[in-house]
Amino acid sequence: MNLDLGGRTALVTGSSQGIGAAIAAGLARAGATVGVNGRDAGRLAESVEKLRAEVPDGTFVPVAADLGTEEGAERALEALPDVDILVNNLGVFGAAPALEISDAEWRRYFEINVLAGVRLTRAHLPRMRDRGWGRVLYIASDSAVVIPAEMIHYGVSKTALLGVGRGFAKEAAGSGVTVNCVIAGPTHTEGVEDFVYQLVDRDLPWDEAQRVFMREHRPQSLLQRLIEPEEIANLVVYLSSPLASATTGAAVRVDGGYVDSILP
């Protein structure tokens, strides 16, 4: 399969580490120029250097902006005004008792997990449509479908993304632009390691802690392990490529069989 993205420009939000960094690396390997986004310019510069070491032939553009705000979205547009591929990966998560989540925290989750992607789609989709080619992706989660009791605010924000993706796909209908969601399953990132240790004994070695977490808190997983970020990135790169031209308005799962469904 030829996933050539040469001549294309991509922006991956929240890509200084974890799944976002893996997606940025994957798109760069396929030939795209990739905007790498983070809030802190210093840390972002370090992340870009790591990506350049990982993908020596890749072209990376740092986009320092807090995309959970309107001002941050404007800064991102100034840094990278025109993209062919928009991957809305930015998100926050964390455990909290359902009845103790404040209005302010609900708003914060929607600003970052939902509205950040809406703003950028609103800015970039018209130009993609005018050109007759583009890719918009939202990184959702198994939590969008199986709402976790320990973080319902996160799950609901990801559920909203599925509706956002389907709605913008209708806006792009017939234009050559595809809009899709990727339902990522429990994935091994630094942030998830912290989350796992919120729920299991912090004295356990990581391999054992991971197994306990999956057994006690994610027993539906058919993979029975955490997914590696590169496994998410592989699907994103495919959906970003010309080969995925007939896939739009979809919620495509790379969840290790976590969601108990025979439909994608």
Whole-angstrom CA distances from 35 to 42, 89, 95, 184 are 16, 12, 30, 21
154, 197, 238, 258: which one is catalytic? 154
Give the integer Cα–Cα distance in Å for 132 and 86: 15
The secondary structure of 230-255 as a DSSP string is: HHHHHHHHHHHSGGGTT--S-EEEES
In the numeric block, which tokens belong to residue 251? Answer: 């919620």
258 is catalytic: no
Q: What does the longest C-alpha to C-alpha distance in the chain come to?
A: 55
Q: Phi, psi at residue 247, to the nearest 5°? A: -110, 110
33 and 240 in contact (C-beta within 8 Å)? no
The secondary structure of 130-147 as a DSSP string is: HHT-EEEEEEEEGGGTS-
Q: Tell which residue, 4, 3, 32, 2, has the closest CA to residue 12.
A: 32
Q: Tell which residue, 52, 54, 78, has the closest CA to residue 64.
A: 78
Q: Give the angle subtended at the CA of 35 by the CAs of 30 and 39, to the nearest 5°.
A: 140
Q: Phi, psi at residue 146, to the nearest 5°? A: -110, 90
Which residues are designated catalytic? 154
